[in-house]
């Protein structure tokens, strides 16, 4: 067991924890945070897998590092988009929660076809 193996296992644990938060929370912001935890877990796992390929006098393989840097920036862009969507949803609906389930609106009359 060394730092690399430890980081890989931590990455796996982070993915599981993030997945749990994403599914169980109904507050949208909590879902966004959980999704980011999954994302960073995936990056960490990837980094740990890539670290095994470190060779030729370099400390670490530069190709996967560049990929992760790109990934972090794109993940931030996606998060910014998600937050903007949340804020607009909050402005329209007045609540940071998603509706419980699609069946919850069943009491309202459906638009019937003529």
Partner 1 sequence: MTLSFGFDLSLAVLTLAVAGYAIGARESFASVVAFISYGVLLALVWVRLSAVDVALTEAAIGSGVTGALLIGAAAKVGEGAVDAPRSVRGAGRLLTALFCIATTLGIATAFLSLPEKAPTLAPLAAEHLPSTGLGNPVTAVLLSYRAIDTLLESVVLVFAVVGVWTFASDRDWGGRPESPGKDRPEQPLTFLGQILPPLGILVGVHLVWTGATEPGGAFQGGTVLAAAWILVMAAGLRKPPSIEGAWLRFALIGGPALFLGVGVAGFALAKAFLAYPEGHSKAFILVIEAALTFSIAIALGLLALGAPGRKGHP
Nearer to partner 1, 21 or 106 (CB): 21
Quick check: 66 and 46 in contact, CB under 8 A? no
Segment 48-87, which members bind partner 1 (CB under 8 A)?
48-63, 65-70, 72-81, 83-87
93 three-class SS? helix
Distance CA(28)–CA(89), nearest Å, equals: 10
Q: Find the shortest distance in angstroms from Cβ 7 to partner 1.
A: 6
User: Cβ 109 to partner 1, closest distance in Å?
Assistant: 22
Site string for partner 1, 6-35 (x = CB under 8 A): xxxxxxxxxxxxxxxx-xxxxxxxx-xxx-
Return the number of the residue (55 or 106) whose C-beta is nearest partner 1.
55
CB-nearer residue toward partner 1: 67 or 109? 67
What is 30-92 written as a DSSP string?
HHHHHHHHHHHHHHHHHHHHHHTT--TT-SS-HHHHHHHHHHHHHHHHHHHHHHHHHHHHHHH
Instruction: Closer to partner 1 by CB, 7 or 114: give it.
Output: 7
């Amino acid at each position: 067991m060394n730092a690399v193996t430890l980081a890989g296992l931590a990455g796996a644990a982070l993915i599981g924890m993030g997945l749990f938060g994403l599914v169980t929370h109904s507050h949208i912001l909590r879902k966004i945070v959980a999704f980011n935890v999954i994302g960073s877990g995936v990056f960490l796992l990837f980094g740990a897998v890539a670290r095994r390929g470190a060779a030729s006098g370099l400390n670490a393989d530069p190709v996967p590092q560049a990929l992760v840097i790109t990934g972090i920036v794109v993940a931030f862009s996606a998060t910014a988009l998600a937050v903007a969507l949340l804020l607009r949803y909050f402005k329209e609906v007045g609540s940071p929660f998603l509706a419980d389930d699609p069946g919850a609106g069943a009491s309202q009359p459906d638009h019937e076809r003529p």
